[in-house]
């Protein structure tokens, strides 16, 4: 495949669609109150069963709410409560967590897409990987009477640095896409836990399927076109599957 702008655009657009098809909103809230916290995550298949993977602090907020804690995954209004403690695993050091769910929940939610295991890579992220992530910032949540609408945000960039337990993404200012976002993302809580997919490795330059390589944990935004994000890699997932 030739290195052309047309090919990059085509791979990017395909990556956006793939990312949005598996990135799911998670709403953590306290029953009988109006307190809602956004997050993003992805359903994955592991050797311990099917799990929802997201940022650790998103799950921790649910635990802090105690008996009144509730979790909604996806936009169909399906709410989880009283999740057994043994079904939750959190790596606080890397701000990453898993919620294991039995098959009965998936039978009730046909729109819950589980990322195929062949789209998960445990290889270390590499500098110059082209990556994409999609998420649901709380600042893009709007209330209309008793209904709530939620905008989405997708962004593409390249890996700028890679360490043993995290990596950073520098944003390509020409390659981001969002719904009805008039201000910048300086207050973008809700992107935490967004799955990050690697689309292309420039040094090898060959087309391949998208691979899950990590989860967003922190972002820095100076303006709409000057952003940098930090992510945890698959070491965090491996630590919870031992």
Predicted confidence pLDDT, tens digits, the chain (242 residues): 666 778 888 888 999 999 999 999 999 999 988 788 889 999 999 999 999 999 999 999 999 999 999 999 988 888 999 999 999 999 999 999 999 999 899 988 988 999 999 999 999 999 988 999 998 876 655 554 544 555 677 888 889 999 988 999 877 555 454 444 444 454 556 788 999 999 988 777 667 899 999 999 876 554 555 567 889 999 999 999 98
SS3 4: coil
Which CATH class for the 5-23+116-240 domain?
mainly beta
Token pair listed for 122: 């445990």
Task: Please give the Cα distance from 200 to 82 (Å, whole number).
Answer: 41
Task: Please give the Cα distance from 210 to 120 (Å, whole number).
Answer: 8
Burial 208-229 (b: 16+ CB within 10 A, else e): eebbbbbbbbebebeeeeebbb
Q: Where in the chain is the domain with CATH 2.40.10.10?
A: 5-23+116-240
DSSP alpha helices (H): ranges in 65-199?
103-108
Q: Does domain 25-115 have CATH number 2.60.40?
A: no
pTM to 2 decimal places: 0.87
Residue 96 in contact with residue 236, Cβ under 8 Å?
yes
Phi/psi class of residue 98: alpha, beta or left (left: φ > 0; alpha: ψ in -120 to 50)? beta
């Amino acid at each position: 495949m030739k290195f052309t702008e047309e090919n990059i655009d085509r791979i990017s657009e395909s990556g956006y669609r793939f990312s949005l098809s598996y990135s799911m909103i998670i709403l953590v809230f306290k029953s009988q109150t109006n307190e809602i916290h956004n997050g993003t995550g992805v359903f994955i298949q592991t050797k311990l069963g099917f799990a929802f993977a997201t940022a650790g602090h998103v799950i921790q907020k649910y635990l802090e709410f105690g008996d009144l804690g509730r979790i909604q995954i996806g936009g169909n209004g399906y709410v989880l409560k009283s999740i057994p403690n043994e079904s939750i695993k959190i790596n606080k050091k890397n701000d990453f967590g898993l919620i294991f769910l039995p098959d009965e929940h998936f039978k009730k939610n046909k729109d819950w897409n589980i990322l195929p295991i062949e789209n998960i890579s445990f290889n270390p992220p590499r500098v110059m990987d082209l990556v994409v992530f999609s998420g649901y910032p709380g600042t893009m949540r709007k209330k209309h009477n008793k209904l709530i609408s939620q905008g989405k945000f997708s962004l593409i960039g390249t890996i700028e640095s890679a360490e043993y337990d995290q990596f950073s993404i520098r944003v390509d200012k020409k390659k981001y896409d969002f719904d009805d976002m008039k201000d910048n993302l300086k207050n973008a809580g809700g992107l935490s836990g967004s799955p990050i997919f690697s689309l292309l490795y420039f040094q090898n330059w060959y087309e391949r399927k998208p691979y899950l390589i990590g989860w967003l944990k922190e972002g820095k935004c100076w303006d709409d076109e000057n952003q940098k994000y930090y992510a945890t890699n698959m070491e965090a997932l491996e630590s919870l599957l031992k």
